Structure 1
């Protein structure tokens, strides 16, 4: 059998010679078929010297080809050797690759809520050593004092550039205290509509709040944060806050408009109107004891899970509520009702700290029915795309829903009437607030159709006219020269295909059908003309985005579009600031309970901003690291 030695990945000479066997003392020339001795007396001493000489003497051209291939192979071996030595040398900290890896380490710490000391952990260091042996992992001090501040500077500069040309900003603010470290933070989140009529938001600050939380301390802290971002108070459209008296006075002292969080108002409405009722509160107290028992007893939960499987029920944990969040109580009741059969079976064989009577189970079922519209409304107004324009329509729909008598209301009429009374008392002046009413008029899905009185409509239109004329004075006259564009009713993606609506959602349609358009006078100014034309046109579907509408129609209604970009920028709740502190509790935790406030502020800012404003990948592309 002929063996081609080139297949053995040895010398290039075997491209020109072949062997009969690996132990043959001679090799056959593939060119002239001559048998050439391999030299040596044993297999171990065989070599290729005679073969190379034969090629050089009788086949010069082929020898030159062989020599060239050999040189390339030798050069390749030499380069590999050099690289091997280079791989033993550590990368300089300013090396491009080293800088990039350090950036990724900082990104890992920020996005995954890792402690700064992770760079000193043995496992992490071994991982980095394996991935890139030449990279020297920086110290915790370098990450904390150099790399993190550099990234913070980069991101804050980017956000500042975005805010520079924005003419009006809305804000949300809230106070948070850590459970694991004596730290209290005051947040400030900005909201605005950009030139493309897209809603934007960015966390600007989470500043330490030292000492008593008096209105003067809060006011001075907010002013300091504004000054730090070079935002004059004249740019502030409104600040959303909680309903605490110190926060109200603090923002009033700043001299800027403010609104209470609507979600907090709902908390008060439901607590006063329903959850404070003796029969309901007793049933809830028993439910909390039952949920708490399973939460603190793993063995009981295991037994409950076995029962859930036997009864073919979803294997779920019962949800514990937080008294300061009424919707968490709603979800707790829902989880209890879902597992009612399993809980009854468990109670037959095990002791529970409390038991619910048949009457109490029925009361909890009615409570869920009554609170369902509130829960749906709360989810709607807590959306990142919600604005103050959503408040008046939602309250009107809620009142209509609570005041209507239906066949399914048996046993819950008293609950509904009590809640309606609480809504009327707590939210009676919503339509008189221009920050709500003007925003509602500027929402093409609502316009003037949801106001409950003619006086409220007149006041809202007067306020809108005043704002539009003020803005019109600052607009260039060239913007009004463009011809009218066709109104576009842009359906929100995913809105088609829904064949059923909740009672709460259907009520919006009922309110619109009941409202008739009122007569409107002849416009005397361009702003009034825009308002008249805009209000006489049909409203857009509820599934449409008001921001898409103004992006399409800003040429037709320049003054209204500019006014809308101001009023629709304001959210109706301070939930964005509250979500910020969910992030804060993940950053300032047991693993980082000694984190300096300055570092905590940077990490919170970076984590939230990189998610709600732009991605870290985009930030990393900015040329800041050198």
Structure 2
């Protein structure tokens, strides 16, 4: 449960963990949730949103409860990129067979790293994730026009982006759109194969303590690291795996060279992994450049102690801008220029980039009105730079109507379309790129004695002017302070600003409390799920459901744990980088 307190602090509590055997139909889910809410004497009429994945049963449950559903943004982002990352069914089956047939010396079993988690995946869940990926790719067959065709000789499908927008708008013929999409999907499949090859390398080192120890020795650094395994249900884990592999590339190459020697063959006679080629390294270098922005956005919108809903639209628009950059691979490509594989690989990764962009635009084509409006209630984005003129006007009208409704006036409900349609340089600070330069205008006085609608409009105008004044002041302070000018811009917690300025905006403040309490992702529930997994272990597998529920309730809601989580998420807000 998430809400903004009277002091403008974002509060999160784990109230219940319930056993739910049987079919997870929408009606049964709704009945269970309503039953639990009654136990806690919670009024369903005061629910603003229920955040979850885009499963049909979850959406059905929300309809049964007459509560707006909000699709988890992190889950939707994961579906955009998972076509290039996910395992195939053959991989999952092969890993199961290897696990059943493989025998290893007792003294060569690799232990989990002391400073990290050992992520293991249930094969059933992996297959389910693969099904989600395949459904996502099947849904990319875009409708086209029967009349508008293109001359294949006039375009290079592997380098020209000019046709992509026409595909989304339905301006191309179905045959033309299908041809372009097939080329993109082939590039995606090739990338997926290379990721699978590197995954085998990671699996080998995670299974063999001897190989892992040798890899650490070959790094020749004070604090050596090891490989990271990806897991289908761990968003961004494949990016973390790839990034660590790139970091370990010199050590991996030394290891591969060593096992080719006579002593190496004798010591590691069980090695069956292939040495990565330059083409394979180039593939994952380019892929990492694409994934780093998804990783940065997911981390930023997954916090629990600061408002995340107003960050969604600015992050999506920035992500779209980065994916639209044809020169995104400029930093990694020079090292491969002249190699036989260079041109083909670069074209292939440009196709993957374009497919990511198409999937992103299709899935987030029409952002809900309440999401665009929330963006304006964050002082950092109050100038509306991430909104079109039409979106800005509609958002302002929505804020006025919501403020009036919360003030007790009868206002016709706006259609907020509470779920999205189901369809730079990476080391620069993400916050710096989100925050732009704004123009300043003098702050007007708030008129009194006007009708309610005019009072709310005047208050909204006053709010925008105050935000411009804030931006102008920060800009002037930064220009005066040379040391501050060198410091990357950091995102501020909008709730802190509202805590200070609440009394100046009596109509807008309740709107902020209502919508800033909505978290942008279901990550808090995923964290609770992880806590459950850490609670029920091989040595503690006879706990009753009631005991597990009580342990997690105490863990998640204890004062010390909340303070640690708040500090962690505040640090995340201040240090997010793409």
TM-score with structure 1 length normalisation? 0.59
Structure 2: distance between partners of 1:358 and 1:458: 51
2:362 is aligned with 1:425: yes
Structure 2: distance between partners of 1:501 and 1:513: 24
What is the deviation of 1:440?
A: 1.3
Contact 2:243 2:288 in 1 (8 A): yes
- Other-structure match for 1:538: 467
Structure 2: distance between partners of 1:237 and 1:251: 11
1 or 2, which has the higher strand percentage? 1
1:58-457, aligned counterparts within 5 Å? 190-272=1-83, 277-309=188-220, 312=221, 314-350=223-259, 351-384=271-304, 385-406=306-327, 408-409=329-330, 411=346, 412-430=349-367, 433-457=368-392
Structure 2: distance between partners of 1:278 and 1:294: 25
What is the deviation of 1:323?
A: 2.5
What is the deviation of 1:583?
A: 0.9
- Other-structure match for 1:607: 555
Unpaired runs of at least 5, structure 2? 87-184, 260-270, 334-345, 410-425, 472-489, 565-578
Structure 2: distance between partners of 1:347 and 1:504: 37
- Other-structure match for 1:51: none
Structure 2: distance between partners of 1:386 and 1:270: 25
Q: Which has the higher contact order (CA 8 A, sep 6+)?
A: 2
- Other-structure match for 2:176: none
Work out which of the residue numbers 408, 428, 431 in structure 2 matches 1:502: 428
For residues 308 and 501 of structure 1, do their structure 2 counterparts lie closer, same or farther at Cα, with a shift above 3 Å needed? closer
Secondary structure in 2 matching 1:548 = helix
CA RMSD of aligned residues (A): 2.7
TM-score with structure 2 length normalisation? 0.64
What is the deviation of 1:307?
A: 1.5
Unpaired runs of at least 5, structure 1? 1-189, 475-499, 617-626
Structure 2: distance between partners of 1:400 and 1:285: 29
Structure 2: distance between partners of 1:546 and 1:592: 42
What is the deviation of 1:578?
A: 0.7
Contact 2:239 2:291 in 1 (8 A): yes
Q: Summarize deviations over 1:202-223 as a string: whole Å, max 9, x none.
A: 1111111121111111111110
What is the deviation of 1:514?
A: 11
Structure 2: distance between partners of 1:567 and 1:224: 25
What is the deviation of 1:536?
A: 3.0
Q: Which is worse superposed, 198-207 or 312-321?
A: 312-321
Which 4+ runs in 1 deviate beyond 4 A? 273-276, 512-517, 539-542, 611-616
Structure 2: distance between partners of 1:502 and 1:515: 26
- Other-structure match for 2:394: 459
What is the deviation of 1:257?
A: 1.0
What is the deviation of 1:407?
A: 7.5
Structure 2: distance between partners of 1:343 and 1:588: 35
What is the deviation of 1:580?
A: 0.6
What is the deviation of 1:501?
A: 7.2
Q: How many correspondences in the alignment?
A: 393
Larger gyration radius, structure 1 or structure 2: 1
For residues 292 and 259 of structure 1, do their structure 2 counterparts lie closer, same or farther at Cα, with a shift above 3 Å needed? same
Structure 1: distance between partners of 2:272 and 2:438: 52
Contact 2:407 2:507 in 1 (8 A): yes
For residues 448 and 251 of structure 1, do their structure 2 counterparts lie closer, same or farther at Cα, with a shift above 3 Å needed? farther
